[in-house]
Amino acid sequence: MTTQAVRPDRRRDTIRYLVMAALVLVIVVAFVLLVAPAGHAAPTDPVTPTDPATPTEPGGGGLNVQINGPNGAPSSAIVTLIGITLLSVAPALLLMMTSFTKIFVVLAMTRNALALPSIPPNQVLAGLALFLSLFIMSPILTDINDSALQPYLNGTMNFDDAVTLGSEPLRTFMLAHTREEDLALMTRAADQPNPETRDAVSLLTLIPAFMISELRAAFIIGFVIFVPFLVIDLVVSAALMSMGMMMLPPVMISLPFKILLFVLVDGWGLIITTLVSSYRGG
C-alpha cells in the first residue's frame, strides 16, 4: 500500500515540473518577442533628398550614336565595325566582282587537260589565282583607296559619298568585261526596263552578268587549251590500236608527252600572260 501511494505522488510531481518548465519557456519566448521589435525599430536620422539632375542630352532624350570623332573623322569603333563587315563579305566580293573566278576556272581546266586531277592541288591554284587577281585589280584598288577610302578616314567625305565613289572603279571594270547580251539577259530575268546607257545599269544586274561573261571567257580559253592535248590522246590511242595493245590505257602513254609539250612551250607562262592580257584592254 505504501508503494502504490508513492507512485501517484511522483507522477503529480513530474507533471508539476513539466508545467512549470512550459511556463518558463513561454515567458522567455514572450520576452524575446517583446524586446526584438524594439531593437529593430530604433529610429534613424532622415536622409536629405537631393535635387533632380539636369538632363545633359539636347533634344529632350533619345538615342545618339556618334559616328564621327571630334575632328570629323570616323570614330575607331565605326572603322572597326566596317573592317569586320568587309572581312566577312570579302570572299563573296572576291568571287563576284574580281577576276578570281575566271583565273581559277582556267587553271583548273588546264590541270584537267593534263590528266592530273590533283596536281597542282586546289590550294596552289587558289593561291595563284588570288595573287594574280590582286595584280590585275591593283590599279582599281589604288583608285578606290585614293578617291574614297582615304577622304572618308580623314573626315573630308561622308559614308554615302565614299560608297558611291568607291563603287565607280569596280563598276567601270565590270562593265568593260561584261557582254551586252549578258546584261540584256539579266535585265529581262529581273523584269526591268532596258537601261538607257551602260552607266545606268544597277549593280544587282551588273554583278551576275559579269560572272556569266567571266565563265564564258574561261570556258573559251579552256577549250583552246584542251585541243592540243586532245590531239596527243588521239595519236597515242591510234598508235596503240595499230599495235594491238588495246588493253593498255592510252593515258599512261600520253601523259608524259602532255607534260613534255606543256613544259617545252612554257604552258604556265602562256596561260598567265593570256589571262593578264585579257584584262588590259578594260
Q: What is the pLDDT of residues 117-163, one digit of tens each?
A: 788 888 888 888 888 888 888 888 888 888 777 777 777 777 677 77
Is 154 within the bounds of a domain?
yes
Range in 98-102, 170-174, 278-282 the model is least confident about: 278-282
Q: Does residue 82 lie in a domain region? A: yes
Q: Distance between CA atoms of 102 and 275, rounded to whole angstroms?
A: 8
Q: pTM to 2 decimals?
A: 0.65
SS3 56: coil
Number of domains in the chain: 1
Would residue 6 count as lying in a domain? Answer: no
Confidence at residue 75, expressed as pLDDT on a 0 to 100 scale: 60
Break the chain down into helix, strand, coil percent, rounded to 5: 75, 0, 25
What is the extent of the structural domain holding 166?
Answer: 76-277
Answer yes or no: is 18 within a domain: no
Instruction: Compute the mean pLDDT over every residue in the chain, rounded to the nearest whole number.
Output: 75
Task: Round to whole Å and give the CA distance between 150 and 83.
Answer: 14
Domain annotation covers residue 44: no
Residue 64 lies in a domain: no
Q: 23 in a domain, yes or no?
A: no
The pLDDT tens digits of the residues spanning 224-264 come to 888 888 888 888 788 777 777 777 777 777 788 888 888 88
Average pLDDT over residues 100-128: 86
81, part of any domain = yes
